[in-house]
Structure 1
């Protein structure tokens, strides 16, 4: 069975700030070296470098603005020009930095390198348009992840808002109603199996029936339908299937609600369409991002908390014909142990520790305390609140007793 450590190693983590730290260290080391070697004219050289670096993107933004103004102004609503400027990279900050650099260069009277100032931005613009200075795949991926522009982010939110948020709050009631009509199935439901088990295979290979994937899994019945009025459709039906999962020896049997994450079918179909430009490596990466995004969304959802379990299936162990049943049973057993450790049974107190029967006054009836074998309840008193008593000095009373 795939361990949780291996599963965590598969899931990509959000990109951090190590790139920024490396860039800052590189700038500090370079400027420090220039200070040690030739401190004269260092300020002018720094200003010249800033100007040559920022003028290239600025000039490229002007070219983009020309294209947008002539052919695509209908994409921008309202004040088109004010919306086009930041979209083309001509925001206030991008305009302010080159302006300050030009002013500082003028004040320092570095006039012998003006040709370089004009030549570098022009070369940058040409290289940019011919794809030589295009963003790398890592940069594009980072932009898409930070701005939630991946296919995985959209499908994860759609799966949550259009399905899980609607059915998970009603799942427990459906299971209770199912067990009431299926008495033979009731003992086979553990605490961990009263959740929706969502399977997420990395290869997006999703069969129509789970028993086709593993013969230790058998369809048992469907839960009662959940009906919702949705998008103009009256009483739209949502249903879940109950499967009976056996181990290899037939000793462990669990009834549980299992299904694949249906958005994975979209990933698979996109990888089969040439015009989608969605190959197998991209599909695998998007599945992992889908898992991470969906896990984050469900962890923050009060309606869905503790009503689901995401099971990531690694495609490297497909040679085992009972891999799926082992993965399901492994997650159920682990969840049972986690819930047992986190919620230990309450301590059952049988008698009061500091009060014995011999210490009771005569003719008093002995009341044994109730066993703490049920959930605590809230007790509300209907009596009016009484005023607090003032302290009474009774030291002298105790002294007279001695």
Structure 2
């Protein structure tokens, strides 16, 4: 009877632990599914595949030339390098003439010719060094063409035609190359907006968010909804179409305004006591239960949307969507590395393909609230199965309302015990049988 009660308690604890582990696994699966959905939308930084293909093709081509005609290899290599470098150098000379005659004061403010103007025109050290080495190699290897004058005629003709095609835009950068340069050098509109949103707003208010929520809960404790673990972060909504409303309840009737958090006043840019605030909303689930969250749209998206409506901005819908995705990726990277904002926010990317669902916004917020609860769910370690002596179970049981219950604490903190006695030799094996089983 007593052993059965103890074993039933162990079974209940084990069953509870298994349920908690299953609950955590479902939360991890939901989070992984959400991350996979976002990864399918967010453009990742471009890799080095074109460079690898170029190196492989150059190695194969060079190997073939070495096998066919190794004696003219260095001459051909030198001539090709000159063809590829003399054209950009000649184009750089023309750009340098334009910059020095008309823009030296306004664009460079008297800065040095070698340090700023020449590299800006494409006359950098790498190009000049490559052309110089190619000239030296061609001089040492000799003319690879049968006639001496053909080599210089070819070099001159290629350089002139390169400048002509370059000026006409035939040899200009492709859209992919321009996009890659802008992303690498952080020159996109989205990069500037993301950094402005972080430095001018999030970094100032997020460190005080927990304090504001604690003050709000203290004044709204009576009759207010319960705040879950996922409700203590700022939900930043980022729709892909950048078309946001100023009131969340106009977007989804399952969301209603609750109240504002206490104002935060910060002296900023000459304004004394500039007010920053957050709004608290209630969202209803499918069972009609209210959940609270602190949320807002990312205000820089208004700039992206308004730019796409202005023809002079040259900002179409496709470019706007791309900039929104870059804004999300840049802001996520900034916040992940910010100690001031860590664990105080949650970015929610809203796909505009679900416009036909009137409750898409509330469903997305509830899904993130549930994921937040599961991510922060604390799972205790599984109980260790320890073999107990039968007489020890008798000593650790007591009668309560006519029934025997185990009083041995299962979660007692470990203690360190010392013995002052001298060490004793090992005892002989002792028969250890259960007297209750023996009587049966």
Q: TM-score, normalised by structure 1?
A: 0.86
Moved more, 136-145 or 96-105: 96-105
Moved more, 328-337 or 182-191: 182-191
Computing the radius of gyration from Cα coordinates, the structure with the larger value is 2
Q: Counterparts in 2 of 1:78-93, with a 5 A limit?
A: 78-82=110-114, 83-93=116-126
By how many angstroms is 1:347 displaced?
7.6
Q: Look up the match of 1:383.
A: none
Q: Counterparts in 2 of 1:69-108, with a 5 A limit?
A: 69-74=100-105, 75-82=107-114, 83-108=116-141
SS of corresponding position for 1:4: helix
Q: Look up the match of 1:310.
A: 347
Q: In the superposition, relative to structure 1, how do residues 295 and 20 fare at CA in structure 2: closer, same or farther (>3 Å)?
A: same
Question: Do 1:348 and 1:371's aligned partners in 2 also have CA atoms closer than 8 Å?
Answer: no
User: Can you list the C-alpha shifts for 1:283-307, whole angstroms capped at 9, x where unaligned?
Assistant: 0000000000000000000110000
Question: Which of 294, 305, 309 is residue 257 of structure 1 equivalent to?
Answer: 294
Q: Look up the match of 2:46.
A: 15
Question: Matches of 1:187 and 1:331 in 2, distance apart?
Answer: 18
By how many angstroms is 1:253 displaced?
1.8
Question: Matches of 1:50 and 1:334 in 2, distance apart?
Answer: 57
Q: Look up the match of 2:438.
A: none
By how many angstroms is 1:358 displaced?
10
Q: Look up the match of 2:66.
A: 35
Question: Do 1:223 and 1:242's aligned partners in 2 also have CA atoms closer than 8 Å?
Answer: yes
Q: In the superposition, relative to structure 1, how do residues 185 and 294 fare at CA in structure 2: closer, same or farther (>3 Å)?
A: farther
Question: Do 2:74 and 2:137's aligned partners in 1 also have CA atoms closer than 8 Å?
Answer: no
Task: Choose between structure 1 and 2 for higher RCO, CA contacts under 8 A separated by at least 6 residues.
Answer: 2
Question: Matches of 1:344 and 1:122 in 2, distance apart?
Answer: 72
By how many angstroms is 1:369 displaced?
7.8
SS of corresponding position for 1:229: strand
Q: Look up the match of 1:339.
A: 376
Q: Counterparts in 2 of 1:105-254, with a 5 A limit?
A: 105-110=138-143, 111-112=148-149, 113-184=151-222, 187-250=225-288, 252-254=289-291
Q: In the superposition, relative to structure 1, how do residues 131 and 185 fare at CA in structure 2: closer, same or farther (>3 Å)?
A: farther
SS of corresponding position for 1:193: helix
RMSD: 2.9
Question: Matches of 1:242 and 1:372 in 2, distance apart?
Answer: 41
Q: Look up the match of 2:400.
A: none
User: Can you list the C-alpha shifts for 1:196-236, whole angstroms capped at 9, x where unaligned?
Assistant: 00000000110110000000000010000011111111111
Question: Matches of 1:42 and 1:73 in 2, distance apart?
Answer: 43
By how many angstroms is 1:19 displaced?
1.0
Q: Look up the match of 2:22.
A: none
SS of corresponding position for 1:316: helix
User: Can you list the C-alpha shifts for 1:311-349, whole angstroms capped at 9, x where unaligned?
Assistant: 000000110000000000011111211221xx3247899
Question: Matches of 1:348 and 1:65 in 2, distance apart?
Answer: 76
* 1:289 lines up with 2:358 in the alignment: no
Q: Look up the match of 2:335.
A: 298
Moved more, 221-230 or 102-111: 102-111
Q: TM-score, normalised by structure 2?
A: 0.78
Q: In the superposition, relative to structure 1, how do residues 39 and 216 fare at CA in structure 2: closer, same or farther (>3 Å)?
A: same
Instruction: Point out where structure 2 has 5 or more consecutive residues left out of the alignment.
Output: 1-29, 396-407, 414-419, 429-440
Question: Matches of 1:31 and 1:9 in 2, distance apart?
Answer: 39
